[in-house]
Amino acid sequence: MKFGEFMASLQKSELKHVYLLAGEEHYYIEKAREKLFAQLFASPQEQAGALQKLTGVLDTDDLVGLIETAPFFASKNVLLLQDTSLFKENKEEGDSKKPGKDKKMERLLATLADMPEFSYVIFVQNGKADKRRKLYKAIEKCGAVLEADAVRAWNINDWLQGKLQSMNKDMDREAMAYFSGVVSTMQTISLEFLDKEFDKLALFTKERQITKDLLTKVFAGLPEVSVFAMLDAISERKAKKAMQLLRRQLNDGTYFTVILALLTRHVRQLWQAQTLQKQGIRGKALAKPLELNPFIAEKLGRAAMQFPEAVLKRNMLELIDADYFLKTGQAGEEVLEHAVIDLCRGQA
């Protein structure tokens, strides 16, 4: 199950006795674990008495023994297995080639299929779990699996809708477009950071609808926000506005490496969008190959067709060289200014 579906299932149905939280998005895993703990334990004292944490290499017979051991000073027995070897990718066919290990695994599978009423097992795997494993398939059948896929700009709307729902707020169209644009410039998306920023945003207004002006105030301190405005001006080929924004960023202390990286990425995306459209891939269909939000991908595609291919190619090569020259002190901020002017002029 994806994150939204998994969290909804915890609200609607009784707790299962076996869970697997696996994937690359730590934020989703942590939120799911917190929700499970909140439903399993009435207090921190109960959690301290009932929870056992295990990591690393684990003998399956030892795990069976722990599952079947009745709690002494608590009403339940909860086992949290963090990054054990049980879900690592198996390059051999099947789960094992050794008959002894097969029998031990079968005992564990049988135990998970018929869990004692007092025992709960939560497997946590940071990284993708091997779906070919019998253990994975057994948990899918008798428990529940969270697939915590990494969040990228093109699929962040799932997280956003869930966050807005939890805040009892929504966004107008302009705010949604602005948010998608800002996120598209982020080289690494931190949901923990965005979560805190939206909590901060909730303190700014009692209104249900979030506007673009409000988002701008909250995200104003992010380097990506001012760079996003500059990239937008370049896409529209507004040289004066783009240069003003570039100078403002440099004067505010934004490192040239941040500006250079995002500018290079933007030119690469324009070039890719142009190439894809020549192949017949247009509009929102650009989202997947570019790994962008569909709205942003469509907008980028329209902008890309306004640039001669020679201009994009020339600037891409010059920006790659600029990275070396800037870092070695052989050039200054003028190389960024030249790239911005050349792109906006668009002369092949």
Write out pLDDT tens, residues 32-57: 999 999 999 999 999 999 999 998 88
- Model confidence at 146: pLDDT above 50: yes
Instruction: Provide the CATH number for the domain around residue 209.
Output: 1.20.272.10
Same domain, 137 and 247: no
* 114: number of Cβ within 10 Å: 9
Residue 95: pLDDT band with limits 50, 70, 90: very low
Same domain, 124 and 246: no
Q: What is the rounded distance in angstroms from the CA atom of residue 43 to the CA atom of residue 121?
A: 19
Tell me how long the chain is. Answer: 348
pTM (predicted TM-score): 0.67
- Domain ranges, residue 99: 3-148
Strand, coil or helix: 236: coil
The string of DSSP letters for 111-176 reads HHHT--TTEEEEEEEEB---TTSHHHHHHHHHSEEEEEPPP-GGGTHHHHHHHHHHHT-EE-HHHH
Same domain, 33 and 118: yes
Write out pLDDT tens, residues 203-217: 888 889 999 888 888
- Interacting residues of 134 by C-beta distance below 8 A, sequence separation 6+: 95, 105, 109
Region 249-266: what's the mean pLDDT? 85
Region 287-312: what's the mean pLDDT? 90
Task: Determine which helix (DSSP H) or strand (DSSP E) holds 314, and give its type and residue range.
Answer: helix 309-327
Same domain, 118 and 164: no
Residue 98: pLDDT band with limits 50, 70, 90: low
Q: What is the rounded distance in angstroms from the CA atom of residue 179 to the CA atom of residue 184?
A: 9
Tokens of 28: 């989703």
Residue 223: pLDDT band with limits 50, 70, 90: low
Task: Determine which helix (DSSP H) or strand (DSSP E) holds 78, and give its type and residue range.
Answer: strand 77-84
Same domain, 178 and 203: yes
Q: Please identify which residue in the block is written with the tokens 């291919």.
A: 309
Region 132-160: what's the mean pLDDT? 88
Tokens of 188: 């690494």
